[in-house]
Amino acid sequence: MNCITKKKVALSLFTVIFSVGMIYAQDSIPKKVVKTHIPSQPLEAAETYKKDTIVDGQQVYNKQIEVETDSVDLKSLTDLEFTAELDQKWREELYSNALYDTLYNVISELDYKEVYFPELPTDTLKARLERLNAKTPFNIAYNPSLESVIKGFLKNRRGYFERIMGLSHFYFPMFEQELDAEDVPLEVKYLAIVESALKPRARSRVGATGLWQFMFATGKEYGLNVSSYVDERSDPIKSTKAAAKYLSALYATFGDWDLALAAYNSGPGNVLKAIRRSGGYENYWNIRHNLPRETAGYLPAFLATMYIFEYAEEHGLVAEKPAFHHFETDTIRVKQMITLDQVSEATGVNMEELQFLNPSYKLDIIPFIPAENYALRLPITAVGTFVANESTIYTAAKTEFDAKEKPLPQFFESESKVRYKVKSGDYLGLIARKYGVRVSQIKQWNGLRSNNLRIGQRLTIYPRNPVAKTSSSTTSSTSSKSTPNTYIVKRGDSLWSISQKFPGISVQNIRDWNDISSNNLKPGMTLKLSKG
């Protein structure tokens, strides 16, 4: 076999392995499956609530209500128990602001005291900082304060940095592209870690928002729009473009990247005042004592983060497995208003993953405004499903939106309402799956404007298929007459498209009744459309 033939064989083998890996890349995150089957009557009552017609009385109902599944709840392949738990923790981490809160407190409370960390001798640190300084435009010179921050991070925050390194696999490629377009040093990507811990919905105590922590006015100035539905400060690509332009303008003003970063954090006015109060010094370390406390710890935290990422291997730091790489996702321009709940049902992508990939949509609703070109980002494994069933998905979404305009039925019984007390580790997606409802519904019923919950908070929830005094028996009999017992799969069918053909039957029903654990169907396959 000649050399060219060997290369072709090797390339073909690599392509097959890579394709298989990409297909199963998203299957590692477990999804909790509720075993209760959904009755076959239509789920109309819970879909038409209007928040202003719901009266939340003082009495708390403790009646046991069976949990009913919906297509929001998705099965996954069986996994090892301990790895499934790790994946669940990582999925929760994607949408948690705990990393951001922790980082903010650390930077605000830096004391620069000597830290005992024998694994990093001072001479070794000095040599490494010199090498870093030689390949970056930032002034990376050794000083005891920087040494204290680096050693403190390495000693006390190893787990934090390993989680951040996992997130960086998704964000850094898009950061580098936008920074390079504005001739901003690529090392500035580490600034987003200091600003937000790579949390696109992070919000500071003064209202700065997003990966790059833009205030409302500054964001507007650099083209980031904020509306009732969308906050582009949380859009990874748009906010990075704005941050690169802003940093480029600050560098043009100060002529020094250290001062540009300080001005980015505290504003140019505070940096200019610090220069004046320091007698005209223009080196960050010479004016640091005259900067606001948070900004005084800002550059040391940035340089320490840069050092830890650049020398992660030397310190035995191992990045946690990323949920996504940027190249494993793609965008689709929406053609009409749609919610992430509806997308989740149609594609089988977990709600938390959709929120992670689409953080700029404040209410988990993607509006349709022709001039804005709002897009939905999906894992590439789900793009085909969405595009192939696009018209059906949009029709179902419109039908649901139209139904929400109707008033709340007066015959709805109060026994179907439950009051849920938020526990540690809870988040809206988990609670929604527990009761077979949608995140958007829980937010609507409780007047929530964000996805943040606090422990002990009580939520009003109306589980699927609430009891109705009238029309339920009629509906049930009508449904049983019109729905056949089996369905033969045709080319182009998906679980979701089949469920849409038969009112009252969800994707989860079809999976349970046919013992299906994936979305794969074969033409000619016979599916049961009822239990038994």
Q: What is the pLDDT of residues 378-420, one digit of tens each?
A: 999 999 989 999 999 999 888 888 776 444 433 334 446 788 8
Does pLDDT of 512 surpass 70? yes
User: Is the Cβ–Cβ distance between 493 and 501 less than 8 Å?
Assistant: no
- Domains of the chain with bracketed CATH: 6-93+408-461 (no CATH), 95-110+127-310 (1.10.530.10), 332-403 (no CATH), 483-528 (3.10.350.10)
Reported as a pLDDT band with limits 50, 70 and 90, residue 433 is confident
Tell me the pLDDT band of 27, cut-offs 50, 70 and 90: very low
Tokens of 475: 């509906």
Mean pLDDT of 192-217: 91
3-state DSSP assignment of residue 417: coil
459 pLDDT higher than 80 = yes
Q: Which two tokens stand for residue 338?
A: 């749609």
Distance in angstroms (rounded) separating the CA atoms of residues 346 and 393: 7
**What's the confidence (pLDDT) of residue 259?**
94
- pLDDT score, position 111: 64
Q: Exposure of 147 by Cβ count < 10 A (0-12 exposed, 13-18 middle, 19+ buried)?
A: buried
Helix (H, G, I), strand (E, B) or coil at 418: strand
CA distance 309 to 190: 9
Name the band, by pLDDT with cuts 50, 70 and 90, for residue 483.
low
Closest CA to 417 of 445, 398, 444, 394: 445
d(CA 361, CA 370): 16
pLDDT of residue 92: 52
Least confident stretch, 30-44, 212-226, 479-493: 30-44
pLDDT tens digit string along 293-329? 878 888 999 999 999 999 999 999 998 888 788 888 9
Residues whose CB is less than 8 angstroms from the CB of residue 406 and which lie 6 or more positions away in sequence, other chains included: 48
Q: How far is 372 from 92, CA to CA, in rounded Å?
A: 31
The closest alpha carbon to 62, from 411, 414, 412, belongs to 414
d(CA 206, CA 176): 28
Confidence class for position 20, pLDDT limits 50, 70, 90: very low
Q: Identify which has the larger pLDDT, 100 or 524.
A: 524
Question: CB neighbours (10 Å) of residue 225?
Answer: 14
pLDDT tens for each residue of 139-171: 999 999 899 999 999 998 898 999 999 999 999
Residues 6 or more apart whose CB falls under 8 angstroms from that of 254 comprise 260, 263, 268, 271, 282
State the DSSP string of 152-220.
Answer: HHHHH-HHHHHHHHHHHHHHHHHHHHHHHHTT--GGGGGHHHHHHTT-TT-B-TT--BTTTTB-HHHHH
pLDDT average, residue stretch 271-276:
92
Cα separations in angstroms, 271 against 109, 230, 276, 296, 394: 20, 32, 9, 11, 51
Q: 198, 42, 77: which is closest to 520 by C-alpha?
A: 77
pLDDT reported for residue 249: 93
Task: Write down the pLDDT at residue 76.
Answer: 42
Alpha helical stretches, state H, 24-97: 81-94
- Amino acid, single-letter form, for residue 520: N
Q: How confident is the model at residue 223 (pLDDT cuts 50, 70, 90)?
A: very high
Q: Measured in Å, how far apart are the chain's first and last C-alpha atoms?
A: 58
Helix (H, G, I), strand (E, B) or coil at 303: helix
pLDDT computed for residue 454 by the predictor: 86
Q: Tokens 């100060």 — which residue?
A: 254
Query: Which of 318, 362, 322 is closest to 340 using CA atoms?
Result: 362
Residue 29, CB half-sphere, CA atoms under 13 Å: how many?
20
Please name which of 413, 528, 387, 402 lies closest in space to residue 472, comparing C-alpha atoms. 413
pLDDT score at 324: 80
**Closest C-alpha to 304, from 160, 195, 163, 150:** 150
Backbone angles phi, psi at 366, to 5 degrees: -100, 110
